[in-house]
């Protein structure tokens, strides 16, 4: 069973007379009980995907397709109803500590969602925030709960962000580049916090370009390149036998793969290549790759967008 199902999602931005396409007909689902990792280089469209789900794209965005939750297309309903459904059932952990309001105490930010959508009173919100912080290994949860952002260390702020994500009931938590700017110690802490969070919420979608991080926490991997989904696979299969040439190139760029950089540069979203978006960097391209967009096809237990796997 799926928590959400995304069908043919297209997102374009109107900028200074130009039309920039950030997502080209994305089709994915978040299954109940899984952690889905969304992998891709910076600027590939990963964050746009999350912001589309939460309907927090800027005014110059044009969106089409479907984002289905229990049969309701979240893109076709009015903003107020969408906010009620999304705010009540989904939680977003955004990038970096800058997402924390510097003028509000941490407990208010941790308990904001259940207070708004589940009728939790302020005194209950403070107790809930302290309990969550205690569960996450904070020795003095009262002090942290009543602190402002500037009064806490990076490790403590990471706990606050995760507490925000798991505060109150939710069907899914969405994390946007959670390891960005973290050193190895804080990244290890984050992994442990996510494992704790998963005990409370069954489903997660995690956007990242950090391969090793996604390998440790994800059940499946969805690879996005220049706004296109190019491969979806279970995590074990992906790291053992990647199918798409871009996926193979990513793994070869890791220390375990020989530190071989991907040839060429990531394409501009304003003027992407025709056909397969990866074709200028692909050692296996043929003429058809420059002319047509490959379809997504099943290969073993994976789904791949590549003419190498299209019969005929």
Q: How does pLDDT run across 94-135, given as a tens digit for each residue?
A: 887 878 999 999 999 999 999 999 999 999 999 999 999 998
Q: Which residue in 197, 299, 261, 230 sits closest to 46, CA to CA?
A: 230
Q: Which CATH superfamily is domain 2-218 in?
A: P-loop containing nucleotide triphosphate hydrolases (3.40.50.300)
**pLDDT at residue 112, as a whole number:** 93
Q: Do residues 273 and 279 make contact, with C-beta atoms less than 8 angstroms apart?
A: yes
Among the ranges given (57-61, 203-207, 255-259), the one the predictor scored with the smallest mean pLDDT = 255-259
Give the angle subtended at the CA of 216 by the CAs of 214 and 221, to the nearest 5°. Answer: 40
Over the chain, what is the mean pLDDT? 91
Q: Is 183 exposed, middle or buried (0-12, 13-18, 19+ CB in 10 A)?
A: exposed
- Per-residue H/E/C for 149-215: HHHCCHHHHHHHHHHHHHCCCCCEEEEECCCCCCCHHHHHHHHHHHHHHHCCCCEEEEEECCHHHHH
| pLDDT of 89 over the 90 cut | yes
- Domain boundaries along the sequence of the chain: 2-218
Cα angle 242, 255, 281 (rounded to 5 degrees) comes to 50
**φ, ψ dihedrals at 13, nearest 5°:** -125, 135
CA–CA gap between residue 174 and residue 48 (Å, rounded): 13
Q: Tell me the per-residue pLDDT of 281-297, one tens digit each, with 9 for 90 and over.
A: 999 999 999 999 999 99
Residue-level pLDDT at 312: 52
What backbone phi and psi angles, to 5 degrees, belong to 98?
-65, -15
pLDDT > 90 in the chain, percent: 69
Query: Is residue 289 within 8 Å of 307, Cβ to Cβ?
Result: yes
So what's the pLDDT on residue 179?
85
Residues 6+ apart with CB under 8 A from 240: none
Q: What pLDDT, in 10s, does the model give residues 49-72?
A: 999 999 999 999 999 999 999 999
Angle at 100 between CA 98 and CA 106, to 5 degrees: 145
Helix (H) or strand (E) holding 21: strand 18-31
pTM: predicted TM-score of the whole model, two decimal places = 0.91
């Amino acid at each position: 069973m799926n928590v959400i199902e995304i069908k043919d999602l297209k997102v374009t931005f109107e900028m200074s007379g130009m039309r920039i396409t950030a997502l080209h007909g994305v089709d994915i689902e978040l299954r109940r009980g899984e952690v889905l990792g969304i992998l891709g280089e910076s600027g590939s469209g990963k964050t746009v995907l999350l912001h589309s789900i939460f309907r927090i794209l800027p005014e110059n965005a044009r969106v089409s397709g479907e984002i289905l939750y229990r049969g309701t297309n979240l893109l076709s309903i009015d903003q107020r109803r969408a906010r009620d459904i999304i705010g009540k059932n989904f939680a977003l952990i955004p990038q970096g500590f800058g997402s924390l309001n510097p003028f509000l105490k941490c407990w208010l930010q941790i308990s904001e969602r259940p207070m708004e959508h589940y009728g939790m009173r302020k005194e209950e919100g403070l107790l809930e925030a302290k309990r969550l912080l205690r569960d996450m290994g904070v020795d003095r949860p009262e002090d942290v709960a009543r602190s402002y952002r500037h009064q806490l260390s990076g490790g403590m702020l990471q706990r606050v962000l995760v507490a925000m994500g798991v505060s109150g009931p939710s069907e899914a938590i969405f994390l946007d580049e959670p390891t960005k700017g973290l050193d190895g110690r804080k990244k290890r802490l984050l992994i442990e916090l996510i494992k704790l969070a998963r005990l409370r919420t069954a489903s997660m979608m995690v956007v990242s370009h950090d391969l090793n991080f996604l390998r440790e926490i994800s059940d499946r991997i969805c690879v996005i390149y220049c706004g296109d989904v190019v491969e979806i696979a279970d995590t074990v299969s992906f790291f053992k036998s990647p199918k798409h040439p871009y996926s193979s190139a990513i793994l070869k760029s890791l220390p375990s793969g020989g530190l071989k950089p991907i040839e060429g540069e990531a394409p501009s979203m304003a003027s992407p290549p025709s056909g397969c978006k990866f074709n200028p960097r692909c050692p296996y391209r043929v003429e058809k790759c420059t002319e047509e967009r490959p379809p997504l096809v099943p290969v073993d237990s994976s789904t791949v967008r590549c003419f190498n796997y299209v019969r005929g």
